[in-house]
């Protein structure tokens, strides 16, 4: 029983070592996308505020 457990742990460790770079890459990409989308939202809000301010100031 202990031998099977050691084999399973070794396989799990190998899988984690093999997939860790891919998982961190995916995580970084999703984080970057979230930050970019937030920046786009803030930029759009700023543009809308500027346009609203210009429309109220124009005669």
Query: Using 50, 70 and 90 to split pLDDT, how confident is the model at 6?
Result: very high
How far is residue 24's CA from residue 13's CA, in Å, rounded to a whole number?
Answer: 16
Q: Is residue 41 a part of any domain in this protein?
A: yes
Domain, as residue range, for 44: 21-59
The pLDDT score that the predictor gives to residue 21 is 84
How far is residue 8's CA from residue 17's CA, in Å, rounded to a whole number?
Answer: 14
Q: Is residue 7 a part of any domain in this protein?
A: no
What does the DSSP 8-state code read for residue 10?
H
Q: Is residue 46 a part of any domain in this protein?
A: yes
Q: Is residue 39 a part of any domain in this protein?
A: yes
Query: Using 50, 70 and 90 to split pLDDT, how confident is the model at 58?
Result: low
59 pLDDT exceeds 70?
no
Q: What's the mean pLDDT in 34-51?
A: 95
The reported pTM is 0.53
Q: What's the mean pLDDT in 3-24?
A: 91
Q: Is residue 4 a part of any domain in this protein?
A: no
Number of domains in the chain: 1
Q: Is residue 13 a part of any domain in this protein?
A: no
């Amino acid at each position: 029983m202990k031998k099977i457990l050691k084999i399973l742990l070794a396989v799990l460790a190998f899988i984690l070592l093999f997939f860790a770079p891919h998982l961190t890459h995916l995580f970084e990409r999703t984080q970057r996308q979230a930050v970019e989308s937030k920046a786009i939202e803030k930029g759009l809000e700023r543009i809308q505020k500027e346009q609203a301010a210009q429309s109220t100031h124009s005669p």
